[in-house]
Amino acid sequence: MKKKWYDVILQIGKPYIYLGMFIVVVVPFLAKCEMQTYETDISKTMYEKIESIYKYNQKNADSEMAILFAFDYGPSTTPENDPMVYSVLRHIFLREIPLLVWAPYVPYLDIAETRLNRIAKEYKAIYGKDYVFLGLAYPVDAYMISTGSDFRPLFNTDYYGNDVYSIPLLSKYYSYDNLGLVVSITSTSMPLFWLQYANALFDQEISVGTTAVSAADFYPFVSSGQFQGMLAGLKGAAEYEQMVERLENKIINKDIKVYLSDLYRDIDTSQINKKYFEPKFGAEEIQVAINRRSQARRGMSSQFGAHIYVIILILFGNLGYYFKNKESNKTTVTKAR
């Protein structure tokens, strides 16, 4: 018996569906298609919050506020979380806001260290003066609570083994009193811990960047004002990327390739500690840094392909079921007669 068209649709094998998904994700990414996206209020709120810290620091030079940045994600979600990290760190370094960084689990440490130093290098940030990597904050709830008074006794040393009491930045910033914002970039439920321990107990303001699947969990806290904005999935990262790109063009005001090439050219690099990053940019590294500035927007083109593909599949699947049911109902009625 000849198969009906809807039977063919409903019997498409999984390997073909997977192959289709692979193609719609990989092709736009390899073709380096960039996609501009509209900017939502929740992303703008987070951007504005960091801008307000910058403005506060401008007016109050002796009581500047810092940002505590938590790398709350592991390797599984780097495609979604990395672009958020890059653009938020760029924003912080561009505005020269003092930065403290920690990670709650061992597998996150390596990710945190590489990303932090990579972006710090692009803005000539000095370790210990402009930023500090505190290292492992495990168990994180104890560290969150102790930041209410002083986190230094729990750390003893930073990630690189430097005594926390000898680091200039940490003589001023060691509790929520001097933190304008906590930024948690995550793929886990870590923002809820921040909410319970930092926000509820110490009134600390928090912003979150999270994967799209977790975002729905956190929307109630954004609308209640407990989170100062949120970057929801790759789209949130793309929005922030656009906003920071505009800011970077305004502040640096020259081609990024030229800016990075000239960054360490005419300065005495012997004064810079090479433990944290090599103070020079090669041609390949510059290209990677430029590509990284549009990483989320390139990812959005793959996401566009994937979403449209899933919608088409759902549509075809439902049409197939509808006509198959119609046909089987017709057959049942005919048989009954």
Partner 1 sequence: MSLWKRRLPLICTIVFGIMGFILQLVPAFKSFLDIQNQWMTILFGFAIVIGVASLTKYHFKKIRQKPEERIFSYITFSSLIVMAVATLFGMKAETGIFNALYKNLFDYVYVPLDATIFSLLAFYITSAAFRAFKASSWLSTLLLFAGGIVMLGRVAFGPLMVFGELTQWIMSVPTVAAMRGIKIGIGLGMMATSIKIILGIERSFLGGE
Residues binding partner 1 (CB under 8 A): 12, 14, 17-18, 20-21, 25, 35-38, 40-41, 74-79, 106-107, 109-110, 138-139, 141-143, 145-146, 148-150, 153-154, 160-161, 201, 212, 215-217, 219-220, 223, 232-233, 235, 275, 300, 303-304, 306-311, 313-314, 316-318, 321-322
- Which residue, 54 or 323, is less far from partner 1 as judged by CB? 323
Instruction: Provide DSSP, 266-329.
Output: TS-GGGS-TTT--S---HHHHHHHHHHTTHHHHHHHHHHHHHHHHHHHHHHHHHHHHHHHHHHH
Kindly give, in sequence order, each residue whose CB lies less than 8 Å from that of residue 73, ignoring residues fewer than 6 positions away. Answer: 81, 108, 111, 185, 186, 187, 188
Burial of residue 255 (CB within 10 Å: 0-12, 13-18, 19+) is exposed
- Which residue, 137 or 182, is less far from partner 1 as judged by CB? 137
- Which residue, 117 or 261, is less far from partner 1 as judged by CB? 117
- Which residue, 130 or 158, is less far from partner 1 as judged by CB? 158
CB 81 within 8 A of CB 73: yes
- Give the number of other CB atoms < 10 A from CB of residue 48: 14
Q: Cβ of residue 11: shortest distance to partner 1, in angstroms?
A: 11
CB environment 172-198: b (16+ within 10 A), e (fewer): ebbebeebbbbbbbbbbebbebbbebb
Euclidean distance between CA atoms 92 and 138, whole angstroms: 25
Q: Cβ of residue 138: shortest distance to partner 1, in angstroms?
A: 7
Residue 262 phi, psi dihedral angles, 5° rounding: -85, -10
- Which residue, 91 or 297, is less far from partner 1 as judged by CB? 297
Q: Cβ of residue 52: shortest distance to partner 1, in angstroms?
A: 22
Q: Cβ of residue 117: shortest distance to partner 1, in angstroms?
A: 13
- Which residue, 258 or 308, is less far from partner 1 as judged by CB? 308
- Which residue, 148 or 257, is less far from partner 1 as judged by CB? 148
Q: Cβ of residue 313: shortest distance to partner 1, in angstroms?
A: 4
Q: Cβ of residue 275: shortest distance to partner 1, in angstroms?
A: 7
Residue 181 phi, psi dihedral angles, 5° rounding: -160, 145
Q: Cβ of residue 148: shortest distance to partner 1, in angstroms?
A: 8
Residue 134 phi, psi dihedral angles, 5° rounding: -75, -25
Nearest CA to 258 out of 225, 283, 229, 239 is that of: 283
